[in-house]
Amino acid sequence: MTLQSAPHSDPSNDSHEGPLARIAIIGRGFTGIMNAIALLKGFDQPFHLVMYDPNPRINGGEDISRSGKTVLNSRVRDLSVDPDTRVDFRHWLEADDELSGREGAVGENLDHAFVSGEVFSAYVYQRFSEALRKRTDVIVQVRAEAVIAVDRDPHGGLQIVSGDGEQAHFDAVFLATGYGVSEKAEDRPAPAHAESAIVVGGGVHAVDRALKLLASAEASHVTLVSASGFLPQSHTGAAVGPVAPDKPLPGTLRGAFRFLRQAANTAELEGSGWQGIMNGFRLRAGDLWKGLTTEERRRFKRHVKPIYDSHRNRLPPSHYRSLHEAIDNGTITMKKGKVERIATNGVLLSTSAGLQVLAGDRTIDCRIRPVDVDAPLFRSVFSSGLARRDELELGIFVDRCGRTVVAVDEFDGLFAMGPLGLGSLPDIDQVPEIVLQAYAAASTLRSWLNQPLASRDTIVAG
């Protein structure tokens, strides 16, 4: 489907010379749509954009929330798709009386409200449509085919192979598949009421789903299964900015987290809360990560990441209160264990005490699975030498702009955006970080394409 095929400006008045740059985005969840917005607003020369995804409907929030109705874990103030206009999302909400009224906050208080993925998706899609209408020099096509391989084109550039075997040439390709390309299981028909339900997952989506089951009377009791045993902590009632202690951050994993614990404990005693300390730590996490040894990074993945995630992916205060009230009154039971199998009547759970059968009338899987680096698409970029796995096998090794990094001073036009780069860039699965990365990638791509062909493989580390 061609979304726009507008006439180009008169060549005599057009500073661009030569054929249109051809750019592909694989994935049309939030990461993919955000990259399209950044290209439309930041790539200031004519181009032809093709967006691939087997789902024929554009949805602006697929990798932000697996269910559009799930509350997001970022406040309104942090959800703008324009990094230069932080209040853009708030202004969009305020322009719709029904939406702003539904959020139950007005004026500056709306900055600190939490919205659903459904509302955020509508905003992202509208901003994409507006950016597209302003670019009469751009052709955008949406292709419903899955992409199974990306390789070097023998004649230069990159080549995409879609599921039907069709090959297409591009100057640059963005992998924007969120957490991967594995198929989502179809939801089974839900009973009108379940005496007992099981929700698998320890993140914001899982908690939100468990609370909704109880609030809508779809279940009388919910067992919440977390593999790590941790659940999300709470945001503060009023948002706090980053707080960084005066002392320099230690360069080792153990030292850094001892430093973080001490700073958070001090903040709690002073009444300012640990959340600001965590916000400040996250701003410095990228530099810390670059200095860690491989073994320290692996130790982080094994032992620290679940705790870190539970403090960075936070619940709105009202959700946090409701969760712990439900745990206290027994309507939610928390279980720690790894789900080995999901059946129609419950789950097989591996715990420290051994295997356990957990019975339930309904089971809902809310886990965010790691990137499947063995999927055909990713295997193709690894085998062709366009990309390499990060050392923790969380995804693809990238720089700050999302460029895949294989060797020093080597770049062939392939980007791996958002959560695909989690092994290289902590927190790159958060909305503000994805937005900044998308604009940085658009700017980097324009500079790279304007270089002479002989020098295009040079990378400046980002």
Tens-digit pLDDT profile for residues 297-335: 888 888 888 888 899 889 999 999 999 999 999 999 999
**Is the pLDDT at 277 greater than 90, yes or no?**
no
Q: What is the mean pLDDT of residues 232-261?
A: 84
The region of weakest confidence among 11-25, 168-182, 266-280 is 11-25
Are the C-beta atoms of residues 110 and 76 closer than 8 Å to each other? yes
Q: Which residue has the tokens 């996490």?
A: 285
pTM confidence score: 0.86
User: 51 forms bridges with which residues in the sheet?
Assistant: 25, 142
DSSP 250-271: PSSHHHHHHHHHHHHHHHHHHT
Please report which residue ranges of 84-143 form alpha helices under DSSP H: 88-94, 97-102, 117-134
pLDDT digits (tens, 9 = 90+) for 395-426: 999 999 999 999 877 899 999 999 999 989 98
Of 337, 294, 24, 260, whose CA–CA distance to 159 is shortest?
24
For the chain, what is the mean pLDDT? 85
pLDDT digits (tens, 9 = 90+) for 437-462: 999 999 999 999 987 665 555 444 44
**Is the pLDDT at 382 greater than 90, yes or no?**
yes
Give the separation between CA 144 and CA 57, rounded to whole angstroms: 9
DSSP state, residue 453 = G
